[in-house]
Structure 1
Amino acid sequence: MLLAILLGFAFSIFLVFTGKFFKGRISILAAGIPLALFVYFAQFIGRISDGEVITQFHSWIPAFGVNLGFTLDGLSLLFSLMITGIGFLVFVYTSAYLKGHKYLDRFYGYLSMFMAAMLGLVLSDNLISLFVFWELTSISSFFLIGFNNTSRESRKSALIALAITGIGGLSLLVGSIFLGSITGTYSIAEMLTMNPEIASNPYYILIVALIFGAAFTKSAQFPFHFWLPGAMKAPTPVSTYLHSATMVKAGIYLLMRLTPVLGDHEFWNTTLIIVGAITMVYSAIHTLFRTDLKGVLAYSTISALGILVFLIGQGTVDALTAAAVFIIVHALYKATLFLITGIIDHQTGTRDTTVLRGLRKVLFPVAIAGFLAALSSAGIPPTIGFIGKELTYESTFHFGNMAILLTGLIVITKILLLYAGFVAGIKPFTGALPERFENTKMPSFLMWLPPVILAVGCLVFGIFPGLIEGSLVKPMVSSMGLDGKDIHLKLFHGFNVILLLSVITIALGTVLYFTLKPTKKLEAWIAKFEKFSPQTIVTNSWAFFFKFSNGWTNLFQNGYLRNYVATIMVFTIALTGYSLFTTANYAVDFNSFSPITFYEAATSLVMLVAIGYTVFTRSRLAAVASMGIIGYAICILFVIYSAPDLAMTQFSIDTLTVILFVLVLYKLPKYLKLSDYKMRIRDGVLSLAFGTIITLLILEVLAEPVNKEVSDYYAANAYILAHGKNVVNVILVDFRGADTMLEISVLAIAAIGVFALLKLRLKKSDQR
Structure 2
Amino acid sequence: MEADGHWLTFLVLMLPFAGAAIAPVLVRFSGHNAAWLLALIPAFMFYHFTGFLGPVADGETVVAGYSWIPSLDVDFSWYIDGLSLTFALLISGIGALIVLYAGGYLKGHAHLGRFFSFILMFMGAMQGLVLADGFLTLFVFWELTSITSFLLIGFDHAREASRRAALQALIVTGLGGLSLLAGLLLIWNMTGLGSMSALLEAESALREAPLYLAALLLVLGGAFTKSAQFPFHFWLPNAMEAPTPVSAYLHSATMVKAGVYLVMRLNPVMGDTVAWETILPIFGGTTLIVGTLLAVRQTDLKLMLAYTTVASLGLLVMLTGFGSEKAAEAAVLYLVAHSMFKGALFMVAGGIDHEAGTRDITRLGGIGRAMPITFAAAVLAAISMGGLPPFFGFLAKEEIYAGLWQGGGWSGLMTLVAIVGNALMFAIGFAVALKPFTGPEVETPKHAHEGPVLLWLGPLVLGVAGLLTALASTLSHRFITNPMASAVVGEPVEVYISVVPHVGLPLALSVITIVLGVLAYLMLARGREAMAATLKAIGWGPDQGFDQAVRGSVRFSSVVTGIVQNGRLDYYMTATFVALALALFVPMILFGELPAVPAFPDLRFYEWIVLAIAFIGLGAVLYARDRLTAIVSLGIQGFAVALLFMLLGAPDLSFTQFMVETLSVVILALVMTRLRLSQADHRPTGEKAVDITIAAACGAALGLMLLRVTQVPFDDTLSVFFAEYSRAIAHGRNIVNVIIVDFRGLDTLGEIAVVMIAGLAILALVRIRAGKPIAAPKGEG
Alpha-carbon distance in 2 for matches of 1:206, 1:460: 44
Q: Return the offset for 1:141.
A: 1.1
Equivalent position of 1:253 in the other structure:
261
Equivalent position of 1:187 in the other structure:
195
Alpha-carbon distance in 2 for matches of 1:651, 1:329: 77
Question: Could you say if the C-alpha distance between residues 682 and 588 of structure 1 is closer, same or farther in structure 2, counting changes exceeding 3 Å?
Answer: closer
What letter is aligned with 1:252? V
- Contact 2:627/2:681, CA 8 A, preserved across alignment: no
What letter is aligned with 2:597? V
Equivalent position of 1:237 in the other structure:
245
* 2:305 equivalent to 1:297: yes
Q: Return the offset for 1:447.
A: 1.4
- Contact 1:531/1:537, CA 8 A, preserved across alignment: no
What letter is aligned with 1:109? S
**1:740-755 correspondence to structure 2 within 5 Å:** none
Q: Return the offset for 1:91.
A: 0.9
- 1:708-732 Cα offsets, whole Å, 9 max, x none, are 1763685488669977879899999
Q: Secondary structure of the residue that 1:223 maps to in structure 2?
A: coil
- Contact 2:722/2:739, CA 8 A, preserved across alignment: no
What letter is aligned with 2:296? L
Alpha-carbon distance in 2 for matches of 1:198, 1:283: 33
* 2:570 equivalent to 1:562: yes
Aligned counterpart in structure 1 of residue 598 of structure 2, from 569, 574, 589: 589
What letter is aligned with 1:53? T
- 1:681-740 Cα offsets, whole Å, 9 max, x none, are 5434432332233223323334x4225176368548866997787989999999999x98
Alpha-carbon distance in 1 for matches of 2:245, 2:57: 31
* 2:338 equivalent to 1:323: no
Alpha-carbon distance in 2 for matches of 1:716, 1:117: 48
Alpha-carbon distance in 1 for matches of 2:269, 2:737: 44
User: TM-score w.r.t. structure 2 length?
Assistant: 0.86
Alpha-carbon distance in 1 for matches of 2:41, 2:724: 47
- Contact 2:584/2:702, CA 8 A, preserved across alignment: no
Question: Could you say if the C-alpha distance between residues 73 and 565 of structure 1 is closer, same or farther in structure 2, counting changes exceeding 3 Å?
Answer: same
- Contact 1:157/1:233, CA 8 A, preserved across alignment: yes
Equivalent position of 1:82 in the other structure:
90
Aligned counterpart in structure 1 of residue 210 of structure 2, from 172, 191, 202: 202
Q: Secondary structure of the residue that 1:432 maps to in structure 2?
A: coil
Aligned length in residues = 742
Aligned counterpart in structure 2 of residue 9 of structure 1, from 3, 6, 17: 17
* 2:519 equivalent to 1:487: no
Alpha-carbon distance in 2 for matches of 1:308, 1:735: 55
Question: Could you say if the C-alpha distance between residues 497 and 362 of structure 1 is closer, same or farther in structure 2, counting changes exceeding 3 Å?
Answer: same
Per mean C-alpha deviation after superposition, the further-off stretch among 8-17 and 162-171 is 8-17
User: TM-score w.r.t. structure 1 length?
Assistant: 0.87
- Contact 1:288/1:518, CA 8 A, preserved across alignment: no
Alpha-carbon distance in 1 for matches of 2:363, 2:455: 23
What letter is aligned with 2:15? L
What letter is aligned with 1:469? H
Equivalent position of 1:267 in the other structure:
275
* 2:227 equivalent to 1:219: yes
Alpha-carbon distance in 2 for matches of 1:154, 1:98: 17
Question: Could you say if the C-alpha distance between residues 643 and 381 of structure 1 is closer, same or farther in structure 2, counting changes exceeding 3 Å?
Answer: farther
- Contact 1:311/1:323, CA 8 A, preserved across alignment: yes
Q: Return the offset for 1:623.
A: 7.5
Alpha-carbon distance in 1 for matches of 2:740, 2:414: 59
Question: Could you say if the C-alpha distance between residues 694 and 197 of structure 1 is closer, same or farther in structure 2, counting changes exceeding 3 Å?
Answer: same
Q: Return the offset for 1:376.
A: 0.9
Alpha-carbon distance in 2 for matches of 1:733, 1:4: 43
What letter is aligned with 2:38? A
What letter is aligned with 1:706? P
Aligned counterpart in structure 2 of residue 373 of structure 1, from 376, 381, 386: 381
Equivalent position of 1:608 in the other structure:
618
* 2:712 equivalent to 1:705: yes
Q: Structure 1 unaligned runs (5+)?
A: 751-768
Alpha-carbon distance in 2 for matches of 1:348, 1:89: 22
Equivalent position of 2:405 in the other structure:
397
- 1:272-309 Cα offsets, whole Å, 9 max, x none, are 12211111112112111112222211111111111111
- 1:95-133 Cα offsets, whole Å, 9 max, x none, are 122222222222222212111111111111111211111
**1:300-699 correspondence to structure 2 within 5 Å:** 300-437=308-445, 439-484=447-492, 486-517=494-525, 521-522=529-530, 524-528=532-536, 531-574=539-582, 576-580=584-588, 583-591=592-600, 597=607, 600-601=610-611, 604=614, 608=618, 611=621, 617-618=626-627, 676-677=683-684, 679-680=687-688, 682-699=690-707
Per mean C-alpha deviation after superposition, the further-off stretch among 712-721 and 674-683 is 712-721
Aligned counterpart in structure 2 of residue 52 of structure 1, from 44, 60, 75: 60
Alpha-carbon distance in 1 for matches of 2:116, 2:662: 51
Q: What is the CA RMSD across the aligned residues, in angstroms?
A: 3.6
Alpha-carbon distance in 1 for matches of 2:35, 2:670: 55
Q: Return the offset for 1:495.
A: 1.8
Q: Secondary structure of the residue that 1:102 maps to in structure 2?
A: coil
Q: Secondary structure of the residue that 1:224 maps to in structure 2?
A: coil
- Contact 1:21/1:27, CA 8 A, preserved across alignment: no
Q: Secondary structure of the residue that 2:543 maps to in structure 1?
A: helix
Equivalent position of 1:754 in the other structure:
none
Equivalent position of 1:766 in the other structure:
none
- Contact 2:292/2:311, CA 8 A, preserved across alignment: yes
Per mean C-alpha deviation after superposition, the further-off stretch among 631-640 and 250-259 is 631-640
- Contact 1:23/1:102, CA 8 A, preserved across alignment: no
- 1:28-51 Cα offsets, whole Å, 9 max, x none, are 422221111111112222222222
Aligned counterpart in structure 2 of residue 62 of structure 1, from 70, 73, 86: 70
Question: Could you say if the C-alpha distance between residues 272 and 655 of structure 1 is closer, same or farther in structure 2, counting changes exceeding 3 Å?
Answer: farther
Equivalent position of 2:778 in the other structure:
none
Question: Could you say if the C-alpha distance between residues 227 and 680 of structure 1 is closer, same or farther in structure 2, counting changes exceeding 3 Å?
Answer: same
Q: Return the offset for 1:57.
A: 2.5
Per mean C-alpha deviation after superposition, the further-off stretch among 718-727 and 373-382 is 718-727
Q: Return the offset for 1:21.
A: 3.9
Alpha-carbon distance in 2 for matches of 1:732, 1:513: 77
Q: Secondary structure of the residue that 1:59 maps to in structure 2?
A: strand
Question: Could you say if the C-alpha distance between residues 19 and 603 of structure 1 is closer, same or farther in structure 2, counting changes exceeding 3 Å?
Answer: farther
- 1:559-604 Cα offsets, whole Å, 9 max, x none, are 1222112122234435644554564544132346765726743763
Q: Secondary structure of the residue that 2:262 maps to in structure 1?
A: helix
Equivalent position of 1:759 in the other structure:
none
Aligned counterpart in structure 1 of residue 155 of structure 2, from 138, 147, 153: 147
Alpha-carbon distance in 2 for matches of 1:735, 1:415: 70
What letter is aligned with 1:326? Y
- Contact 2:398/2:510, CA 8 A, preserved across alignment: yes
Per mean C-alpha deviation after superposition, the further-off stretch among 682-691 and 355-364 is 682-691
What letter is aligned with 2:334? F
Q: Return the offset for 1:443.
A: 2.4
Per mean C-alpha deviation after superposition, the further-off stretch among 328-337 and 591-600 is 591-600
Question: Could you say if the C-alpha distance between residues 168 and 612 of structure 1 is closer, same or farther in structure 2, counting changes exceeding 3 Å?
Answer: same
- 1:211-269 Cα offsets, whole Å, 9 max, x none, are 11111111111111111112111111111111111111111111111112222222222
Q: Return the offset for 1:632.
A: 6.6
Alpha-carbon distance in 1 for matches of 2:718, 2:178: 34
- 1:620-662 Cα offsets, whole Å, 9 max, x none, are xx87777677667666666666667767877787788778778
Q: State the percentage of identical aligned residues.
A: 37
Q: Report which of the two structures shows the higher radius of gyration computed on alpha carbons.
A: 2
Equivalent position of 2:776 in the other structure:
none
- Contact 2:485/2:493, CA 8 A, preserved across alignment: no
Q: Return the offset for 1:347.
A: 2.5
Question: Could you say if the C-alpha distance between residues 694 and 161 of structure 1 is closer, same or farther in structure 2, counting changes exceeding 3 Å?
Answer: same
Question: Could you say if the C-alpha distance between residues 407 and 617 of structure 1 is closer, same or farther in structure 2, counting changes exceeding 3 Å?
Answer: same
Per mean C-alpha deviation after superposition, the further-off stretch among 249-258 and 712-721 is 712-721
